[in-house]
Chains A and B, each alone.
Chain A
Amino acid sequence: GEDVEQSLFLSVREGDSSVINCTYTDSSSTYLYWYKQEPGAGLQLLTYIFSNMDMKQDQRLTVLLNKKDKHLSLRIADTQTGDSAIYFCAESMDTDKLIFGTGTRLQVFP
């Protein structure tokens, strides 16, 4: 069955880069997403990548996809305290159903 895994915690210093990793099992995934959840709030879509792409960059965010290893990563450059949140990766196939990872709690310290 489908499974998406992430490490639970990541702590970085302000100004450094953060890299959040995700592995998935279903090779038929069409889209892979990164969502951000701030305390007490819903999920906000940060970025997504089609499965036929290797990389996508959007300002401070870089998504890398390694289809062979079924590995997805999100790099946040120049991490700020406002980036502290839970980050979820998610996959979907040709439907609207999202399969979420467990979430990675990013803590940014001064």
Chain B
Amino acid sequence: EAQVTQNPRYLITVTGKKLTVTCSQNMNHEYMSWYRQDPGLGLRQIYYSMNVEVTDKGDVPEGYKVSRKEKRNFPLILESPSPNQTSLYFCASSHQGTEQYFGPGTRLTVT
């Protein structure tokens, strides 16, 4: 089954404790992206990757890092999480110029 998976689905952590949210797709997509969803703001792009070893900042990259060492994986790293990073995070992937498939979301709470 074609899908985008994210782990964990729910995470509660404390300020400053490094965490990684994994994203994996099994569709051999070149393009992958991370978004955060906040009430009243819709989804905003954090980082994206056009292919392996090619990443670039989206609209709200501060406080986040990503890597793309393999085509299928695109982890999101929060080196020192802060409460303003409490949000719902979505990973997405696509062949360039076609429909984006979204993962189920990761709800992160930073206390």
Contact = CB atoms under 8 A, between A and B. Distances in A.
A5 B96 CA distance: 25
A96 B97 contact: yes
Question: Which of B33, B40, B58, B97: most chain A Cβ within 10 A?
Answer: B97
Contacts, number: 47
Interface stretch (A11-19, A39-47, A52-60, A69-77): A39-47
Nearest to A103: B42
Interface residues of A, number: 19
B12 interface: no
Given A42-B90, A42-B105, A45-B99, A97 B40 contact: no
Contacts of B11: none
B65 interface: no
B48 interface: yes
B42 A8 contact: no
A24 interface: no
B34 interface: no
Contact of A41 (B35, B42, B104): B104
B105 A41 contact: yes
A43 B40 contact: no
A94 B102 CA distance: 20
Given A43-B102, A96-B48, A100-B44, 12 more contacts: A40-B105, A41-B104, A41-B105, A43-B90, A43-B92, A44-B102, A96-B31, A96-B97, A96-B100, A98-B45, A102-B40, A103-B42
Interface of B: 4, 31, 33, 35, 40-45, 48, 50, 58, 90, 92, 94, 96-97, 99-100, 102-105
